[in-house]
Structure 1
């Protein structure tokens, strides 16, 4: 929650909630992606896990990363911001790695993951979202007074 300088008693510039303003859209998008990736992974693992276990496990991992980032954005504070930054960087690395892998070796993934082809099945939001979130989180770093 945002605090006034009087409330925190430090005389620092007041901070803001990570989930306010543009952060609210990030919370919403990460929440939607948490549900989408988790639902996709659960259905795929229940119906045909043997077909593409790596792809389905990567979708489940993406859901966990999305859930943690959502939680961190809602929680707010310097520690949550740093944790979210680390997760966003890991998410971006995952999207770029899996995206490149799916383009280079189509046979490695018999079925798509959330991050296949850089998130093309999700309008490339999986590659845009972590970059946007990292920019927002870096901006938040400068206003929270650490």
Structure 2
């Protein structure tokens, strides 16, 4: 009988660590920007805060083996990074500053675009 793959085991541990890192990074960045520069680029800073919230939910869901919640958070992340990426390319004048998802995550080496794809692949292959 094949071994059951838990979403927070094996590669899931790496995925969890990356989501925690992104939650801290995006969260700290957005808190600072919202507190000190909100009037400069409110849309960008609110989107960064939203991305941080999505990363937190994904990390918690993976950590506590809540597969459905993890899938939902990762799908929201993928739609968000594609949507914001397209929007920042088509209407850059609407963004006075970058977000985590600007230009599909170019400021983070496109990892915000790659991460949800890897997350979905892992979540589909695992069981919980």
Which one has a bigger Cα radius of gyration?
A: 1
Q: What is the distance in 1 between the residues matched to 2:36 and 2:61?
A: 32
Q: What is the distance in 2 between the residues matched to 1:65 and 1:73?
A: 12
Residue 13 of structure 1: CA displacement?
6.0
TM-score (normalizing by structure 2): 0.95
* Pair 1:125 & 2:111 matched: yes
Please name the residue that 2:14 is paired with.
25
- Cα deviation digits, residues 41-90 of structure 1 (max 9, x gap): 011111110011111011001111100110111111xxx11111111111
Residue 14 of structure 1: CA displacement?
5.3
Residue 102 of structure 1: CA displacement?
0.4
Q: What is the distance in 1 between the residues matched to 2:68 and 2:2?
A: 19
Runs of at least 4 residues of structure 1 off by over 2 A? 12-17
* Pair 1:40 & 2:20 matched: no
| Structure 2: 5+ residue stretches without partners | none
* Pair 1:69 & 2:58 matched: yes
How many residues align? The count is: 128
TM-score (normalizing by structure 1): 0.84
Please name the residue that 1:99 is paired with.
85
